[in-house]
Chains A and B, each alone.
Chain A
Amino acid sequence: MDHQSAILDTTIGWFLLGGLGLLWIYLGFYWGKKAKSMDGYMLAGRNVGLALGTATAMATWITSNTTMLAPQFALELGIWGMIAYSTASFGLLLFAPLAKRIRALMPKGYTSGDFIRLRYGKPAWIIFLIISIFYGFTWLISMGMAGGILMYALAGIPYEIGMTAILFVCVIYTLYGGLYAVIGTDYIQSLIILIGIVVVGVGVLWHADFSQIHTDLFTKKPELVNVLLPAAIMAIFNNLLFGVGEIFHSNVWWSRAFAMRDGIGQKAYTYAGYFWFPVPIAAGFIALASGALGINVTSPDMVGPLVAANVLGKIGSIVVFAVFFCSLASSIDSLLAATSDLITEDIYRKLINPKANEKKLRSVSAWIIVGLGVLTWAVCMPRIGTLATVLFFAGPMVGSTIWPIASGLFWKKASATGALVAMITGSAIGLLAYFQLGWYTASLIGAAVSMLITILFTAFSKETFNFKQLNETEIGE
């Protein structure tokens, strides 16, 4: 992607980057004052209401991939490509009843790792931590790289500087404000993203109506309006399962379930799912208008910004820049906080220093956030494009955790050995499918193998789990 593709003047780009960055840092410091205890810092006081809960779940799930890849999906896979992307919202919807159950069974829990350790024991816990930390870190790297690439593509800001600035801003406000800052900024970021998408969408329709868009597609690319495009239908299933796996296992979503006040989790995740569903369609359709508007698309992943800048000029470019910045920040801050919680609680507190007090844990957590930021920065710096694709390896791995988690929360007979075998075998066979059959089968096969193993082990299991064991404070007291 060369400098000529920049849609925004570099000076304006710097101004926006600096302005938004300073705003998030100020809010991080402001909300950080509330984080006086470890529960406050890690879980925003476990009292988050419906509005902030809904917004944080939705904003975190709107990554730069959603706003950048949804138009590319539309351009390459047509209308079903956009709908395929929208199915990722099912992850939020299906997690809603789990969020309620998690809060009820583990009122004092901290991480998804806590659940696996208490429910299935140490061997499954270690495998789960490897999958979860690998996934969190690769997602962080892909967001860091996307940040640098986007800053360069949108405003001509050099990759190294753009990537460093975004990571620096997110690390600083997450470091000082903890989950309070993450959730508070997520709310503002979600509003900017939603309003930005509507502004660009209406602007595009102002210049090209539905009839023009359809006529152009029907004559030049009829396959894109074919309601039965096979590749798109395969993409629906893979995207759906990858999304469900990502949300079910990741501490990003568990920490929010612990953070929301009693009785809010299920509602917030349900609303977030419904609010998220139309986003890839509203953000993606503008790619379909590129032909009718006579825009020559040389780089498919830049089709969204290109169309927006073309129809709305400078205002469109500024809106797109703000939307991308918010999409990136809302995901990076959540990943920093949730991965740091997982390492602090599951590795430091449970394995290294069980007697650590709150002050010590808070300091360790802060150092881990800084360490994660620096490590991500160091890996992103050389800009090795193939690294971003490593995230897709995580698809079958997270897919293999869906059944052990869901069955573990609801079935007394779900066994520890079954969970362990399901996660290892599901990941291995899913990865094999990734290389032998294609990326679009990996999550599907990983999840299916894990499902069969979980059901088989449960059917023959003689274990009966007492769910009260998940309430760790009762055990310790």
Chain B
Amino acid sequence: MLFSELFITILISLALLFVGISSILLIVMLIKDYKEGKVW
């Protein structure tokens, strides 16, 4: 595997993973704010 192929693979996989995690974190953060009465 060439360096550039490895670079693309890692970059894109991480980007997709982080975008997915961000959406989950946003939901978790809202639940936490809601429980503490701090949504608005």
Contact = CB atoms under 8 A, between A and B. Distances in A.
Interface of A: 34, 44-45, 47-52, 54-55, 58, 79, 83, 180, 187, 190-191, 194-195, 197-198, 201-202, 205, 210-211, 213-214, 218, 225, 227, 261, 271, 274-275, 277-279, 281-282, 285, 288
Contacts of A225: 4, 8
Given A48-B40, A281-B12, A79 B19 contact: no
Given A51-B39, A211-B5, A218-B5, 20 more contacts: A51-B30, A52-B33, A187-B26, A191-B27, A194-B19, A194-B20, A198-B16, A198-B19, A201-B16, A205-B16, A210-B5, A210-B8, A213-B8, A218-B2, A218-B4, A225-B4, A261-B38, A275-B26, A279-B19, A281-B11
B22 to A, nearest CB: 4
A51 B11 CA distance: 27
A79 B8 contact: yes
Interface residues of B, number: 26
A306 B26 CA distance: 29
A195 B23 CA distance: 7
B14 A278 contact: yes
A47 B38 CA distance: 8
Given A194-B22, A198-B23, A285-B12, A50 B40 contact: no
Interface string B5-40: 101110110111011101101110110110000111
Interface of B: 2, 4-5, 7-9, 11-12, 14-16, 18-20, 22-23, 25-27, 29-30, 32-33, 38-40
Contacts of A271: 25
A190 B24 CA distance: 11
* Chain A facing B: main interface SS: helix
Nearest to A192: B23
Contacts of B4: 79, 214, 218, 225, 227
Nearest to B24: A194
B12 to A, nearest CB: 5
B2 to A, nearest CB: 7
11 contacts: A34-B40, A48-B40, A51-B26, A51-B32, A51-B33, A79-B7, A198-B16, A214-B2, A218-B4, A271-B25, A285-B15
A225 B22 CA distance: 27
A191 B12 contact: no
B19 A278 contact: yes
The 6 closest A-B CB pairs, nearest first, are A51-B29, A281-B15, A51-B30, A278-B15, A194-B23, A49-B33
Contacts of A205: 12, 16
A83 B8 CA distance: 11
Contacts of B29: 50-51, 54
A275 B4 CA distance: 25
Nearest to B31: A51
Nearest to B18: A278
A52 B12 contact: no
Nearest to A286: B12
A271 B16 CA distance: 17
A79 B11 contact: yes
B12 A55 contact: no
Given A49-B33, A49-B40, A54-B29, A282 B19 contact: yes
Contacts of A52: 30, 33, 39-40
Contacts of A202: 16
Contact of B38 (A44, A50, A58): A50
A55 B2 CA distance: 38
B11 A45 contact: no
A34 B4 CA distance: 53
Contacts of B30: 51-52, 187
Contact of A198 (B2, B11, B20): B20
A305 B33 CA distance: 35
A214 B5 contact: yes
Nearest to B13: A210
Nearest to B26: A55
Given A45-B40, A79-B11, A278-B19, A191 B5 contact: no
B7 to A, nearest CB: 7
B7 A210 contact: no
